[in-house]
């Protein structure tokens, strides 16, 4: 039995286990207690999220579970090597949990206002958290796949949560089909990797070396490319982007915030880990593909929203552009560049970027969720007219997120882009850096347009929209303020966060 399962396995997977037990507790209480309150579910969710956030940050004293602040622990494996724990994974777990906590606060208020609040929503958030952490920390492709399923299934349900609206159902169906196709091809890739190497465990696949023209080598290569392709559907870069606009637009806005942030965090964390296990000579083919996808995403994501009038769609297209920036960092591995330091730089730049991106996205979509009410959901630029007078706080939040997306200097988004550019330039990808700068300059137009509409004095501002309610709810206020402060202030601490992440990036495998 000791070979299969030890008590230590549970400790090493403490964050996930806490989330899962919280979710099961909510479900059990719903079954047992007749007068079960939604508020109790909310507090159970909050406590489990805070508990696992605490453990991820500070570790569990006296055990092998090191926290984020314990330097760069070697970590360990659990469940017979199915699960890996190290500083890099702790960083991404922390990010997932942070994003989930912020979203939980927003969901509480927004869903209560739209009469969509059920205890099950909170439970699904916990499943999403556990599944995402499993995806990032999996050392075995099967565990990674199941974790991905566990984190995507609740999203399909939550996207259709507002069942009365046809667009919500459409969004859920589209998201389900396209995301499932991505996952299915990933599964095919896992099968090919197993066929080529005889194992699904990442650390066992890696040492298997073949001659480059052998059948097994080709199986392995095809498998890796399919797995990465499946993740790229999740990240939504250009050839795989078709679903983004409709899904982000149709789903409830707070759920969109979760979709755009958490799915990307976990997918990026997992892909960057997988890349470390690929055979060295496969990287050259992969890099070509990544450059094409990245350039296409940057161009498309910044051009498509230029004549777009729907705010949620603007942010949806901009998320494609940001996915393009993100995947440029997938090109850096210890083998393709002999110096390991460049990989470390890329990893920490990516971490800082995804941190700022997730926070900004959450802020943008959560603010949109507040500005929508009632039956009418499509928030357009016209609705923003006079926003600074009617609801100055919302106008401020929206402007902060838009300017951070645009990369205006003191905000966090600027430093994120700066780090990416620095890595690209030091690796000699000058043309990619130029494309990135030019396309994001194009993108500045529609971000500035949001700020302009929110703050400019329009003649006809009273003619439009009674659909701007005041910002309400103590939880939402605090979450909004914390997120806005983070987006505003992270830039000033960018260097220390970057260095902090760099310590963890020494050991990714």
**Which of 138/394 has CB closer to another protein?**
138
**Which one of residues 77, 123, 388, 401 is an interface residue with another protein (CB under 8 A)?**
123
How far, in Å, CA of 415 to CA of 419, rounded? 6
| Residue 452 binds another protein, judged by CB under 8 A | no
| Residue 143 binds another protein, judged by CB under 8 A | yes
| Residue 177 binds another protein, judged by CB under 8 A | yes
Residue 378's region, left for phi above 0, alpha for psi from -120 to 50, else beta, is beta
Torsion of CA 375, 380, 383, 384, to 10 degrees: 140
Least Å distance, CB 379 to another protein, is 20
| Residue 59 binds another protein, judged by CB under 8 A | no
Nearest to 194 by CA among 168, 224, 166, 214: 224
| Residues in region 60-119 near another protein by CB under 8 A | 79-80, 82-83, 118
Token pair recorded at residue 223: 């498998």
Scanning 52-60, 192-200, 336-344, 492-500 for contacts with another protein by CB under 8 A, the matching segment is 192-200
**Which one of residues 60, 64, 157, 303 is an interface residue with another protein (CB under 8 A)?**
157
**Which of 60/181 has CB closer to another protein?**
181
SS3 127: helix
**Which of 69/285 has CB closer to another protein?**
285
**Which of 188/303 has CB closer to another protein?**
188
Least Å distance, CB 277 to another protein, is 17
Q: Tokens 């498998």 identify what position? A: 223
**Which of 15/416 has CB closer to another protein?**
15
**Which one of residues 219, 368, 412, 476 is an interface residue with another protein (CB under 8 A)?**
219
Scanning 39-47, 51-59, 85-93, 235-243 for contacts with another protein by CB under 8 A, the matching segment is 235-243
How far, in Å, CA of 236 to CA of 242, rounded? 8
| Residue 324 binds another protein, judged by CB under 8 A | no
How far, in Å, CA of 380 to CA of 189, rounded? 41
213-218 contacts, C-beta under 8 A, 24 or more apart? 217/279
**Which one of residues 76, 239, 469, 473 is an interface residue with another protein (CB under 8 A)?**
239
**Which one of residues 215, 431, 445, 452 is an interface residue with another protein (CB under 8 A)?**
215
Q: Are 74 and 507 in contact (CB under 8 A)?
A: yes
Extended strands (E) in 23-129: 76-78, 83-85
Q: How many CB atoms lie within 10 A of CB 13?
A: 21
Least Å distance, CB 185 to another protein, is 5
| Residues in region 34-53 near another protein by CB under 8 A | 38
**Which of 40/188 has CB closer to another protein?**
188
Least Å distance, CB 229 to another protein, is 5
**Which one of residues 3, 61, 166, 470 is an interface residue with another protein (CB under 8 A)?**
3
**Which of 215/445 has CB closer to another protein?**
215
**Which one of residues 6, 27, 382, 422 is an interface residue with another protein (CB under 8 A)?**
27
From residue 291, alpha-carbon distances to 252, 283, 288, 339, 342 in Å are 33, 12, 5, 21, 17
Residue by residue, DSSP assigns 195-257 as HHHS--BHHHHTT----TTSHHHHHHHHHHHHHHHHHHHHHT-GGG-TTHHHHHHHS-HHHHH
Burial of 448 from C-beta contacts in 10 A (0-12 / 13-18 / 19+): middle
Query: If DSSP states are collapsed to H, E and C, what string results for 443-472?
Result: HHHHHHHHHHHHHCCCCCCCCCCCCCCCCC
Q: Give the length of the chain.
A: 509
**Which of 158/487 has CB closer to another protein?**
158
| Residue 299 binds another protein, judged by CB under 8 A | no
Token pair recorded at residue 221: 């290569």
Q: Tokens 């399962």 identify what position? A: 5
**Which one of residues 22, 75, 129, 154 is an interface residue with another protein (CB under 8 A)?**
154
Residues of the shown chain interacting with another protein in the complex, contacts defined by CB under 8 A: 1, 3-5, 13, 20, 24, 27-28, 30-31, 38, 79-80, 82-83, 118, 120, 123-124, 127, 130, 134, 140, 142-143, 145-147, 149-150, 153-154, 156-157, 160, 163, 174, 177-178, 181-182, 185, 188, 192, 195-198, 208, 213-216, 218-219, 222, 225-226, 229, 233, 239-243, 245-246
């Amino acid at each position: 039995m000791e070979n299969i399962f030890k008590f230590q396995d549970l400790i090493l997977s403490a964050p996930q286990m806490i989330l899962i037990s919280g979710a099961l507790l909510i479900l059990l209480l719903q079954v047992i207690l007749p007068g079960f309150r939604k508020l109790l579910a909310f507090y159970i969710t909050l406590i489990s999220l805070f508990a696992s956030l605490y453990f991820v940050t500070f570790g569990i004293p006296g055990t092998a579970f090191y926290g984020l602040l314990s330097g760069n622990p070697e970590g360990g494996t659990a469940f017979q090597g199915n699960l890996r724990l190290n500083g890099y994974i702790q960083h991404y777990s922390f990010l997932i949990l942070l994003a989930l906590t912020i979203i939980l606060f927003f969901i509480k208020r927004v869903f209560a206002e739209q009469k969509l609040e059920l205890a099950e929503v909170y439970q699904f958030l916990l499943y999403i958290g556990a599944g995402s952490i499993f995806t990032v920390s999996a050392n075995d492709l099967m565990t990674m796949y199941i974790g991905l399923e566990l984190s995507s299934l609740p999203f399909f349900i939550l996207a259709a949560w507002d069942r009365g609206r046809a667009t919500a159902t459409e969004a859920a169906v589209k998201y389900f089909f396209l995301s499932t196709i991505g996952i299915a091809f990933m599964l095919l890739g896992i099968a090919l990797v197993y066929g080529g190497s005889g194992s699904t465990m990442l650390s066992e696949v890696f040492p298997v070396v073949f001659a480059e023209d052998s059948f097994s080598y080709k199986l392995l290569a095809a498998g890796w490319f399919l797995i990465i392709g499946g993740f790229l559907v999740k990240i939504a870069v250009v050839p795989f982007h078709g679903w983004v606009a409709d899904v982000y637009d149709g789903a409830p806005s707070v759920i969109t915030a979760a979709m755009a942030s958490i799915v990307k965090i976990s997918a990026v964390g997992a892909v960057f880990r997988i890349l470390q296990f690929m055979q060295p000579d496969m990287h050259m083919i992969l890099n070509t593909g990544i450059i094409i996808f990245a350039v296409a995403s940057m161009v498309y994501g910044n051009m498509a929203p230029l004549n777009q009038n729907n705010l949620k769609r603007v942010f949806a297209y901009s998320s494609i552009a940001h996915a393009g920036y993100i995947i440029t960092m997938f090109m850096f591995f210890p083998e393709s560049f002999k110096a390991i330091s460049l990989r470390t730089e890329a990893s920490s730049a990516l971490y800082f970027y995804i941190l700022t991106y997730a926070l900004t996205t959450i802020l943008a979509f959560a603010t949109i969720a507040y500005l929508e009410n009632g039956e009418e959901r499509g928030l357009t630029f016209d609705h923003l007219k006079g926003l600074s007078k009617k609801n100055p706080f919302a106008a401020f939040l929206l402007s902060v997120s838009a300017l951070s997306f645009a990369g205006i200097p003191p905000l966090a988004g600027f430093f994120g882009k700066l780090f990416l550019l620095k890595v690209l330039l030091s690796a000699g990808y000058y043309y990619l850096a130029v494309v990135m700068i030019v396309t994001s300059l194009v993108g500045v137009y529609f971000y500035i347009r949001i700020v302009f509409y929110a703050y400019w004095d329009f003649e006809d501002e009273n003619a439009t929209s009674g659909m701007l309610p005041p910002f309400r709810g103590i939880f939402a206020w605090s979450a909004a303020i914390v997120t806005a402060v983070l987006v505003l202030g992270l830039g000033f601490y960018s260097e220390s966060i970057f260095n902090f992440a760099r310590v963890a990036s020494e050991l990714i495998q």
